[in-house]
Structure 1
């Protein structure tokens, strides 16, 4: 099956902008990511999502999973589980390694499920 990317438009807007301040991701009490280079992706009527540079995530806690999903606006997503001394959080974050051109800025970034980890957006 051939996939054709959909382009964000007035009916389904998507914006990617630098997040002012600092973003921290915590698994339980453990900080697993800390950055001042996060991006905020706003898509249609969904809540804003923080995308953290993969380089600012502790690589020791990440493990790639076999989970994958497809978004017609962003492309193919792959997932990471997070393992800390407190346990493993399955598919806690996702990334679009080859995100479509309309959202190319999120390549090399990881987004997080706020019901699985804590996403803190702190003032600059």
Structure 2
């Protein structure tokens, strides 16, 4: 892993990670796609809160790898997945950092959902695990 060029260039830009001590669920149209008590919340300047889930707590059978990638100067290269729900495909609805910059190594291989991009996605606290 290498150092983040974003943090070096803009040292005042905040990207804070916090392990949550509660269960978080992602459901779309009533169908659960993630449920975990191992979630990292990321609070980044000028972005909505994001929740990063361990792959073992996500319904990976509903994900299909996309060719889409984006580059974040703070976290690294994001790789995307389409989310397949009973014939409905939400394109590039999920992303992961497989080789994040060292400042965000805790996000490695975790999955996050575009809860603001697709109104069908609802993230809410679940019951205590």
Per the shorter chain, which TM-score range? 0.7 to 0.9
Q: Do the aligned residues in 2 keep the contact of 1:32 with 1:58 (CA within 8 Å)?
A: yes
Match of 1:120 among 116, 120, 124: 124
Instruction: For residue 54 of structure 1, report the CA deviation from its aligned partner.
Output: 1.2
Distance 2:72 2:11 in 1: 18
Aligned to 1:66: 67
* Count of residue pairs brought into register by the alignment: 121
What's 2:50 paired with? 49
What CA distance in whole angstroms lies between the structure 1 residues aligned with 2:12 and 2:85? 41
CA RMSD for the aligned pairs?
Answer: 1.8
**Structure 1 unaligned blocks of 5 or more:** none
Asked if the contact 1:14–1:44 (Cα under 8 Å) also holds between the matched residues in 2, the reply is yes
* Stretches of 4+ aligned residues off by more than 3 angstroms: none
TM-score w.r.t. length of structure 1:
0.88
For residue 27 of structure 1, report the CA deviation from its aligned partner: 2.3
